[in-house]
Amino acid sequence: MNIERRRGDHSERVEDCIAEEVPIALRYNGRSFAVMMTSPQDLEDFALGFSLTEGLIDSADQLLGIDIQQQTAGIMLSMRVPFSARAAQLDPHSQRLLPGRGSCGICGTRELEDAVRAPPPVADTIHFSSSALESALNELRQFQPMNAVTGAVHAAAWANADGYIVLAREDIGRHNALDKLIGAMTRAKIATREGMLLLSSRASYEMVTKAVRAGIGFVAAISAPTALAIDLARRTNVCLVGFTRPGSCNVYTYSERLRNSSRSTN
């Protein structure tokens, strides 16, 4: 896109890269569920991750098919699921009323109980060293090509116990980035007990909820967590780290899982 860039009294016409933001409609067995504002990449990962973290399916096997259709107003993700899946039994009177802004995990939820219901706790995860966390943090920028050119997208990354990033996904919405990552991890059959989740955003309640539903027990965010996210992490056996920076971080829950030693142990 051609823009006018101003620096003090100087201005010039330059080409700039702009992040895309597209309405993505999600349908299950022909029934509309929600519309999310999403970056139009890795949509199959998004469809699977969103379905899992929203509790609409219990496993990847329940997502029988995905049809991606480009339409005038946006993109339609039409998914097929078996009748046993929750997505096939949605009550049309209780589906979301509003489109989700940036795939907000609870946008449009009708009942307060649905908004704050905690998923079952995750199983115990391994311990990680602070050096492994810092290594993953230092690598993160290399896995944010869209953000490098637009400055407008979030990332969610998965690193192993040694701090090497294995997978990462980007999106205009932080929730979308996490859903895409979880979908990609599920397809790759990555064991969620054996690594750490790194978020370029804050760790809000719904971000921790999605992590817990995926079985992730270690979450490190660049920005702050919310009080509700900390409470949820405590109740669901998640080590939650915030303000992650080179050489420093705040550990809010289960601090024993982030060790100062250079080795990771069970």
Give CA–CA dist 87/138, Å, rounded.
Answer: 39
Q: Are 211 and 197 in contact (CB under 8 A)?
A: yes
Contacts of 49 (CB under 8 A, 6+ apart): 178, 179, 180, 181, 182, 183, 184, 186, 214
- Is 138 in the same domain as 111? no
Q: Is residue 2 part of a domain?
A: no
Q: Does residue 104 carry a catalytic annotation?
A: yes
Contacts of 178 (CB under 8 A, 6+ apart): 49, 53, 156, 169, 197, 199, 207, 210, 211
The Cα-based distances of 37 to 62, 73, 183 in angstroms read 24, 12, 17
How confident is the prediction along the chain (266 residues), in pLDDT tens digits per residue? 898 989 999 999 998 899 999 999 999 999 999 999 999 999 999 999 999 999 999 999 999 999 999 999 999 999 999 999 999 998 766 555 444 444 454 454 444 445 556 789 998 788 999 999 999 999 999 999 999 999 999 999 999 999 999 999 999 999 999 999 999 999 999 999 889 999 999 999 999 999 999 999 999 999 999 999 999 999 999 999 999 999 999 999 999 999 985 444 45
- Is 156 in the same domain as 237? yes
What CATH number corresponds to the domain at position 138?
3.40.140.10
Q: How many residues does the chain have?
A: 266
Give CA–CA dist 122/134, Å, rounded.
Answer: 24
Q: Is residue 40 part of a domain?
A: yes
Give CA–CA dist 56/87, Å, rounded.
Answer: 5
- Is 94 in the same domain as 187? no
The Cα-based distances of 86 to 83, 201, 213 in angstroms read 8, 30, 15
- Is 70 in the same domain as 159? no
Residue ending a domain, choose from 86, 115, 144: 115
* Confidence (pTM): 0.89
pLDDT tens for 6-49 read 999 999 999 889 999 999 999 999 999 999 999 999 999 999 99
Catalytic residue chosen out of the listed positions 17, 104, 107, 249? 104
- Is 104 in the same domain as 157? no
Give CA–CA dist 35/22, Å, rounded.
Answer: 10
- Is 65 in the same domain as 100? yes
- Is 132 in the same domain as 255? yes
Q: Is residue 264 part of a domain?
A: no
Q: How many domains in the chain?
A: 2
Domain that holds residue 77: 22-115
Give CA–CA dist 122/108, Å, rounded.
Answer: 27
Residue ending a domain, choose from 115, 143, 159: 115
